[in-house]
Chain A
Amino acid sequence: MKLQLPDDVLRPVARIEGGIRVSHNKITSECPVRRIEAPERVVIPMLQHIGAPCTPVVKVGDRVLAGQLIGDSEAYISAPIHSSVSGVVKSIAPVVTVGGRMINSVTIENDGLMEYDPSIAPPVINSREDVIKAVRASGLVGLGGAGFPAHAKLNFPKDVEIDTLIVNAAECEPYITTDYRECIENSWDIVSGIHSLIEYFGFKRVAVAVEDNKPEAIRVLDEIAATDRYMDNIIRLIVLKSKYPQGAEKMMIRTVTGRKVPPGKLPSDVGCAVMNVGSVAFIARYLKSGRPLISRTVTCSGSAIAEPANLRIPVGTSAKAVIEACGGYKTDPYKLIVGGPMMGFALYSDEVPLTKQNNALLAFAPNDKGIKRERACIRCGRCVAACPMNLMPVTFADKLKKDPSPQELNDLGAMVCMECGSCSYVCPAGKPLVQSMRRAKDIVREGMKK
């Protein structure tokens, strides 16, 4: 593997501290992305990102076109939502979404015509502000899973210099292969996206980061980096040791640039921006076509799925429809998960709409439980060694038994936890350590409110 030599901007470190080795189970890596037929009905939640929910701008009975704006918000941290099909609005009502929250959603009956909004046109770009405006209008949110509105990510504070863009193709969660397919199938979109971003944002370096378990993606990304080798050598390929959670934003910045984002700070505070490889490719496509984000790639996999696959689905397609497109269930599923197995949400039912944020839908058979019998903590220290944020999960679990003060938990670093799940994964006693971290964070948040 290529080891990138450090320069004045990038000082890659060998690997993250802590973290865990998980079995990758990327069984769909060689499945080309297949477009599924739009379902008869799409349910489009008005919250598909981190931030403020959108308000519907259509009424029941309206005919909407594919790509037409159906929800928007005045709030800054928010992203507009577009119809993914053409058809008639049947209802606007709260619906159970991934994660169990009831969210106001627009249900659209598909007329099967897939008629695009005629006003869709490539945006006119002359400046950085135009790019940010266009990205907002596209409805793009981070496609890696967290769903942070992309325009807010790109709107850097005026007084800081952002010298590095990291294009994140690490995809460290098991099973998921959407970024991998993006690299292989849409490599020229990625190139074009990177070049546009360099043009308008003036990054000194663009680091395309990928884990070393994806040789084919490395080959393709190396070609992408080579598009710049005879110009300024701005674009660099960084091959990272595969270790979960390498793809997490703070870990990524640490390994690629050697910088550490302090608690409560943003990547821009250390001069970095991190974008998912799929988001970069989408920006390129949007700048060319003006078609907003109304479909996305989802990996449908797991031991209970008959034919695991990578699918291009319209936003608002139900989990059930996606699984049916993969040949249905092989066996009765024991667990359904949206997102990766390390950080994803378990579903109560498969009648849940998938959104822009969701990169995977996994179904596990009963013999694939992932539940351990809970025993006494033997203080083996595996959770401490596994924590990429240098926390001591075992200490939090101990403290929580004794009604701790918010200050005490905050001093121990509770808010630094990103809930990556490494501690729970390694715990031989089967302790729900991530849950105790969440509880600790809640206590700190409640304490801050007072």
Chain B
Amino acid sequence: MIELASPQAASKFRSEIKPTWCPGCGDFGVLNSLQTACATIGINPKDLVVVSGIGCSSNLPGFIHSYGMHTLHGRGVAVAQGVRLGNHGLTVVATGGDGDGYGIGVGHFVHAVRRNINMTYIVMNNQIYGLTTGQTSPTTTKGVKTKSTPGGNIENALNPLGIALMAGASFVARGFSGDANGLAEIMTKAIAHKGFSLVDVLSPCVTYNKMNTYAWFRERVYKLQEKGHDVTNMESALKASLDWDQRIATGVLYQVERPTYEEQDPAMAEFGPLVNHKLGLSDNDWKAVVQEFM
């Protein structure tokens, strides 16, 4: 058990802007848990950068007191990696939704996972496109009727945790926004993890997803960590990622230590955070490089 920071401690991450999400939206829980997790770790808001894509959930950077970027649909993870590579002294958290990260941005997601840049990616997975008023998403259950699939969705839902595991993730977790403390604990572990961490959050859309409601999830979620789950066992993690219809695993599915991108990049390993580098070419370097071209 992690001793979580108090709401008062977490309040330093509160921004002046009130979230614009629908009352009851799962994303409120995600925001609160993220603020608690950051306070628990003891991050200074000036050293935190929260980067999002586009969608309801991607408005989150505006609601947390830190540096942030609100970017393009699907591109938040790419921008966030750039922020972290530009200054790896910063704590970088990317946030977004299932359409953003598993639909239009799925390419960036997979490659970010395999790179193992030390950052956290939180996906508020509500299995629907909310901001565009209710079309099917990559995680919409097969058969579900949405505005764009009036006869029922005929595509299979994507398994983000399985994809992350197969892409070589060093940290994969799932949380439920109806369990604030459990989610804050997972996020704390994710942000503290050295390497790329994925937290897929079951975050109900109370307006457009009438199937995957809080009640629906409450009947199914269980905590892996209470079942003696071995987080270093890939097979058990994959098995847990396949849970869905009957029961849904939450908690850390997989966590191993691997060298981060920052540790292995030749320039960053040699010089430290890019942002502090001395710029330009010295006279000696210049002489040598001119000779190279001779």
A and B associate in one complex: no
Measuring CB to CB, which residues of chain A are less than 8 angstroms from any residue of chain B? none
